[in-house]
Structure 1
Amino acid sequence: MPADASPDGRVTARGFAQGDPVRVLGMTDGFEFTRDGEIARLTFTRPEKMNAITYGMWSAIPDVVARVEQDPALKVLVLDGAGKHFSAGADISEFRELRSTAEGAATYDKAVDGAVSALTAMRKPSVAMIQGNCIGGGCQVSVACDFRFAAAGARFGITPAKLGIVYHFDSTRQLVSLVGPADAKYFLLSGELVGAVRAREIGLVNDVFEAEELAGATAAFVATLCARSQASVRGMNRIIEKIVAGQESTDAEVEDIRLAALHGEDYAEGVDAFLNRRPPKFTYR
């Protein structure tokens, strides 16, 4: 994957930094969590299994999210997969043992729900960088992210109807909010796969790039997110989450978010920078 970085290890427009600027913060079976300046990165690392997601991986995702949220130096979480694929979905080989009873299935589903809820509730933005297969639980993870950028050869599908499973409520709601009920039914009831171009047409992904351009294009967008007011980014992310969840009018939390931004340093800096025709230097963490 091509990559360039500034001396402080920040991501640049051509790609994500590799080598010395990247510091490995933690490893669990199935994925690697790294930090590169303002960018956190969670990489699924089971390429021999097309990065199928195990129960242990589902269970660990909330801890990763909490780590990113609590670190004031981090602004964005990027998710991707090692090798040729993002993720082919949940590791079905575990189902006979872990989902063989109603109680076992409930425990497993609780881990999946926890991972999806953690990603959905993030104030800091999350970006899925997708190549190859993004199917089942892999697609579920990507839909829980704020943004999805895909390689032209990527494939998407959600396949509970092939397993006799009824999809999670919150994940179904998220899918419907992205693609609408008709295309959500197509995915969930048929289990058929669609290509990246079709996924972009229906709103499942934000944009599609040639495979060799994906890393650079994603990095450029991540750099844009990092340059914006984080007070604005996180406040609006929370409000959008509430709207998607069905809230129809403002509440005390929304008003508190807006009032805090109005009295914050970023607002004063943004207005002054605009009036003086200079780039803003936001300081909110």
Structure 2
Amino acid sequence: MTQGFALTTDGDVARLTFSRPAKMNAITYEMWSAIPGIVAELEADPAVKVLVLTGEGEHFSAGADIGEFRDLRATPEGVATYDKAVDAAVDALATMAKPSIALIRGNCIGGGCQLSVACDFRFSAPDARFGITPAKLGIVYHYESTRLLIDLVGPAQARYLLLSGALVDAGRAREIGLVTDVFDDVEAQTAEFAATLCSRSQTSVRGMNRIIAAITAGTEDAAVQAESLRDEAARGADYAEGVAAFLERRAPRFTHR
């Protein structure tokens, strides 16, 4: 495992943790670069149904490790190389078929917030703070990350966050749609929701996640993809089991992993 990360599994749920608490879980270039491979491994692992992304200690992540910028982003070529790693990490999370949940405490700022927005769900503790801060660094935000943010909060709130670099608390983040929900016991509530996702038909969960991603991305053949996934599901074992369980008034025993 790449330094700065810890990857664990508990039943059907994988947990990827930023593990640099002394640096408020700042994300290094090596960590950005590792995320696509980690996501690909989890997507291919039949034992995993849900990914939880979180931070060790008091914070989710304070963002990219700015201490590396003088060396790694000192030239236009260095900026392009670094940004390519960031973009690939965001794209990997955003296009996962298996659902992902960001479990957030403390600071969720800059690149940390960028990765949380790429997840399917964001569950926050009341003490969390959110901000997206390229305007404090002279950086123009990645197209895909900007699109994902606009999809969540709309263009007016996206402008507020990106142009000001201002921080918002968990309550305000929930109001504008930046987080899915805020919980006093965010650990327990996240675990409960992950268990709910694991109990559902994975044919349905992953198929609908793919369709939502294709629609929001404006994929040209999104409707064709949707019909193909619907047809595949109608012929699958999960559909037969779901209908049988409903008619027999019992919990379904889905087998697709």
1:55–1:214 distance in 2 versus 1, CA, 3 Å: same
Write out the 4+ residue segments of structure 1 that deviate beyond 6 Å after TM superposition. Answer: none
Give the match for residue 219 of structure 1. 191
Please say if 1:76 is aligned against 2:54.
no
Q: Which amino acid aligns with 1:96?
A: R
Distance 2:155 2:63 in 1: 22
C-alpha displacement at 1:68, in angstroms?
0.5
Give the match for residue 98 of structure 2. 124
Give the match for residue 153 of structure 1. 127
Q: Which amino acid aligns with 1:55?
A: Y
Distance 1:36 1:153 in 2: 26
Distance 2:243 2:174 in 1: 35
Distance 1:202 1:194 in 2: 10
Distance 1:155 1:253 in 2: 37
Q: Which amino acid aligns with 1:44?
A: F
- Residue pair 2:214, 2:222 contacting (<8 A) in 1 also: no
- Residue pair 2:33, 2:85 contacting (<8 A) in 1 also: yes
Give the match for residue 48 of structure 1. 22
User: Deviation digits for residues 118-151 of structure 1, max 9, x if unmatched?
Assistant: 0011000000000000000000000000000000
Select the residue among 68, 72, 76 that pairs with 1:94: 68
Give the match for residue 138 of structure 1. 112
C-alpha displacement at 1:56, in angstroms?
0.2
Give the match for residue 77 of structure 2. 103
Give the match for residue 21 of structure 1. none
Distance 1:149 1:224 in 2: 15
The 5 Å alignment of 1:25-40 reads 27-40=1-14
State how many pairs are aligned: 257
Distance 1:248 1:278 in 2: 40
Please say if 1:238 is aligned against 2:222.
no
Q: Which amino acid aligns with 1:239?
A: I
Distance 1:145 1:134 in 2: 13
RMSD of aligned residue pairs (Cα, Å)? 1.0
C-alpha displacement at 1:251, in angstroms?
3.5
TM-score calculated relative to the size of structure 2: 0.98
C-alpha displacement at 1:249, in angstroms?
6.8
Structure 2 stretches of 5 or more lacking a match?
none
Distance 2:219 2:172 in 1: 30
The structure carrying a bigger helix percent of its residues is 2
Distance 1:143 1:149 in 2: 11
Q: Which amino acid aligns with 1:157?
A: G
User: Deviation digits for residues 83-125 of structure 1, max 9, x if unmatched?
Assistant: 1000000000000000010000000000001100100110000
Distance 2:121 2:93 in 1: 11
Distance 2:88 2:40 in 1: 12
TM-score calculated relative to the size of structure 1: 0.89
Please say if 1:63 is aligned against 2:37.
yes
Select the residue among 245, 248, 256 that pairs with 1:276: 248
C-alpha displacement at 1:247, in angstroms?
3.7
Distance 2:137 2:39 in 1: 29
- Residue pair 2:126, 2:170 contacting (<8 A) in 1 also: yes
C-alpha displacement at 1:250, in angstroms?
4.3
Select the residue among 180, 197, 200 that pairs with 1:228: 200
C-alpha displacement at 1:73, in angstroms?
1.1
C-alpha displacement at 1:252, in angstroms?
3.0
C-alpha displacement at 1:255, in angstroms?
1.7
Structure 1 stretches of 5 or more lacking a match?
1-26
Please say if 1:162 is aligned against 2:160.
no
User: Deviation digits for residues 1-51 of structure 1, max 9, x if unmatched?
Assistant: xxxxxxxxxxxxxxxxxxxxxxxxxx3211111111111110000000000
User: Deviation digits for residues 156-208 of structure 1, max 9, x if unmatched?
Assistant: 00000000000000000000000000000000000000000111111111110
